[in-house]
Amino acid sequence: MKDRLEGLKNEALEKVVQADSLKALQDIRVAYLGKKGPITEVLRGMGQLSAEERPLIGQMANDVRAAITEKLEEKETQLEAQEVERKLAEESIDVTLPGRPVVKGARHPLTAVVEHVEDVFIGMGFEVAEGPEVETDYYNFEALNLPKDHPARDMQDSFYITNELLLRTHTSPVQARTMEKYKGQGPVKIICPGKVFRRDDDDATHSHQFMQIEGLYIDGNVRMSDLKGMLDTFAKQYFGEDRTIRLRPSFFPFTEPSVEVDVSCGICGGKGCRVCKQTGWIEVLGAGMVHPRVLEMGGFDPKKYSGFAFGMGVERLAMLKYGIDDIRHFYTNDLRFLEQFKQV
Ligand code: 2NL
C-alpha cells in the first residue's frame, strides 16, 4: 500500500509538471484527489489494515494528498502568471508608431467666396441675414416691384411649387422680409448670401441652381456715392488693391436709378485682353438706389429714408478670381477640382 501511494504521488506530480493549461490542472485534481480517485480509495480500504499500520498509512495518504495539492497550486500560479504575460504582450500598444494621417477636406470654393465677401462687408458694418429657399410670390416678386407680366414670374422661368409658392429666384426676398422686421426704423445694413433657382438649361455659364449675395443699406441719407465707395472698397478687398470700378446705367424693377458695375480687368490691368474682350472691364454686379415703392412696401417712408442695394453671382466671382471656365465644376463634386482649394 505504501508503494501504491508512493507511485500515485510520483505519477500525479509528473502530470502536474507536464500540464500546460488550467483546465489540465483541474482534470488532474479530479482524477487523483476526487471522491472517486485512487487516494480516496486507499483511505476507504484502511479497515482491512492492522492497528499499527492504520495511522502510518493514513498519515502517508494525507501527506501524498498535501504534496499533490501544493504542486497543483504552485503550477496554477505559474500558469496564471504566464497567461497574464501572454495577454500583455499580445495587447500592447506601441505608442512610438507614427499615427495614420488624417485626410483633411477643403472648404467648397463657393463657401470660401461667400465667407470672404461676408468678411469684407462685415468690416463695413453690415450684418448677415438669411431666409427661406421656398418663397411666396409676394416676397419673391410683389414686394420687389416686379410687375405681373415680368418674364421671371412666368411658369417657364421659375420653379413653382403651387400658384403662391416657388423656389426663390434671387435672395432679395430675404431683404424684403428684413425690412418688414425693422418696422420703418433704420438703419438697415445687411448682406444676404444663399442658393437661388431658375429654370435654365445647364451649360458652361448657366446653372438652374446657383448662389447669390445681395446687399441692402437703408438710412436717413444714403446716396449713390455711398454705393460707389463701398463697392470700390469691396473690389479692392476681394480682387486686389490695384483694382477699380466703373458704373454704367442699367435697369432693374427694384432700383431707380440702376447701374451695372464693372471691375477693371486683373489680367491686362485695363489695357484690353481676351478675358475682358478687349474692353479692360469685367461686369461683376448689378446695383442701384432702392425704388421708393420697394421702400414703402417694406414699411419705410421714402421721404425720410433712402437706400442702395446690389446683387452679385457667387459662381461668377469665384470663376473670375480662380480662372474657372465652367460653372458645372462647382456642382459635380470631382475631388480633382475641389482639392485645389485646400489653401483658399
Ligand atoms: C444682379 C442684380 C440686384 C438688387 C439686386 C434689391 C433688393 C431690394 C431692393 C432693391 Cl430688397 N434691390 N436687390 C438691386 C439691384 C441689383 O441684382 O445682377 N444680380 C446678380
Same domain, yes or no: 212 and 314? yes
Which residue's CA lies nearest to atom 5 of ligand 1? 311
Report the atom number in ligand 1 closest to the C-alpha of 311.
Answer: 17
- Taking 80 as the threshold, does the pLDDT of residue 69 lie above it? yes
Same domain, yes or no: 173 and 218? yes
Pairing of strands 165-167, 134-136: antiparallel
Find the 288 Cα to ligand 1 centroid distance in Å.
7
The pLDDT of 74-83, averaged and rounded, is 87
Same domain, yes or no: 67 and 167? no
- Polymer length of the chain: 344
- Is residue 98 included in any domain, yes or no? no
Q: 61, 90, 119 — which closes off a domain?
A: 90
Which residue's CA lies nearest to atom 4 of ligand 1? 310
Q: 90, 123, 142 — which closes off a domain?
A: 90
Report the atom number in ligand 1 closest to the C-alpha of 290.
Answer: 10
CATH label of the domain that carries residue 246: 3.30.930.10
Which residue's CA lies nearest to atom 18 of ligand 1? 286
- Is residue 99 included in any domain, yes or no? no
Find the 215 Cα to ligand 1 centroid distance in Å.
8
Q: How confident is the model at residue 45 (pLDDT cuts 50, 70, 90)?
A: confident
pLDDT of residue 246: 97
Which residue's CA lies nearest to atom 19 of ligand 1? 311
- Amino acid letter for position 74: E
d(CA 119, CA 220): 25
Same domain, yes or no: 83 and 130? no
Name the residue of 191, 212, 254, 290 whose CB sits within 8 Å of the most ligand 1 atoms, as the mutation to test its pocket: 254
Domain tally, the chain: 2
Report the atom number in ligand 1 closest to the C-alpha of 291.
Answer: 10
Find the 289 Cα to ligand 1 centroid distance in Å.
9
Same domain, yes or no: 185 and 326? yes
Same domain, yes or no: 335 and 243? yes
Which residue's CA lies nearest to atom 20 of ligand 1? 312
Asked if 289 contacts 256 with a C-beta cutoff of 8 angstroms, the reply is: yes
* The 3-state secondary structure of the chain, one letter per residue: CHHHHHHHHHHHHHHHHHCCCHHHHHHHHHHHHCCCCHHHHHHHHHHHCCCCHHHHHHHHHHHHHHHHHHHHHHHHHHHHHHHHHHHHHHHCCCCCCCCCCCCCCCCCHHHHHHHHHHHHHHCCCCEECCCCCEEEHHHHCHHHCCCCCCHHHCCCCCCECCCCEEECCCCHHHHHHHHHHCCCCCCEEEEEEEEEECCCCCCCCCCCEEEEEEEEEEECCCCHHHHHHHHHHHHHHHHCCCCCEEEEEEEECCEEEEEEEEEECCCCCCCCCCCCCCCCEEEEEEEEEECHHHHHHCCCCCCCCEEEEEEEEHHHHHHHHHCCCCHHHHHCCCHHHHHHHCCC
262-295 residue pLDDT tens: 999 988 888 989 888 999 999 999 999 999 999 9
d(CA 147, CA 141): 8
pTM value? 0.74
Grid cell listed for 106: 477643403
Grid cell listed for 128: 448677415
First vs last C-alpha separation in the chain: 94
Which residues is 166 bridged to in the sheet? 135, 160
Same domain, yes or no: 41 and 180? no
Same domain, yes or no: 57 and 159? no
Helix, strand, or coil here: 4?
A: helix
145-169 residue pLDDT tens: 987 888 768 778 899 999 999 999 9
1-13 residue pLDDT tens: 778 888 888 888 8
- Is residue 97 included in any domain, yes or no? no
Find the 140 Cα to ligand 1 centroid distance in Å.
12
- Is residue 96 included in any domain, yes or no? no
Same domain, yes or no: 286 and 171? yes
- Is residue 292 included in any domain, yes or no? yes
Grid cell listed for 234: 469691396
Q: Pocket residues for ligand 1 (CB within 6 Å)?
A: 144, 172, 175-176, 212, 214, 216, 252, 254-255, 285-288, 290, 294, 309-313
Residue 256 annotated as lining a ligand binding site: yes
The pLDDT of 176-203, averaged and rounded, is 96
Q: 90, 124, 141 — which closes off a domain?
A: 90
- Is residue 100 included in any domain, yes or no? no
Name the residue of 252, 289, 316 whose CB sits within 8 Å of the most ligand 1 atoms, as the mutation to test its pocket: 252
Full residue range of the structural domain in which residue 32 is found: 2-90
Find the 275 Cα to ligand 1 centroid distance in Å.
25
Same domain, yes or no: 16 and 120? no
Same domain, yes or no: 33 and 175? no
Asked if 302 contacts 292 with a C-beta cutoff of 8 angstroms, the reply is: yes
d(CA 224, CA 230): 10
pLDDT of residue 42: 78
Which residue's CA lies nearest to atom 2 of ligand 1? 286
- Is residue 231 included in any domain, yes or no? yes
Q: Is the peptide bond before 187 cis (omega within 30 degrees of 0)?
A: yes
The pLDDT of 296-312, averaged and rounded, is 98
Q: How confident is the model at residue 60 (pLDDT cuts 50, 70, 90)?
A: confident
Same domain, yes or no: 150 and 198? yes
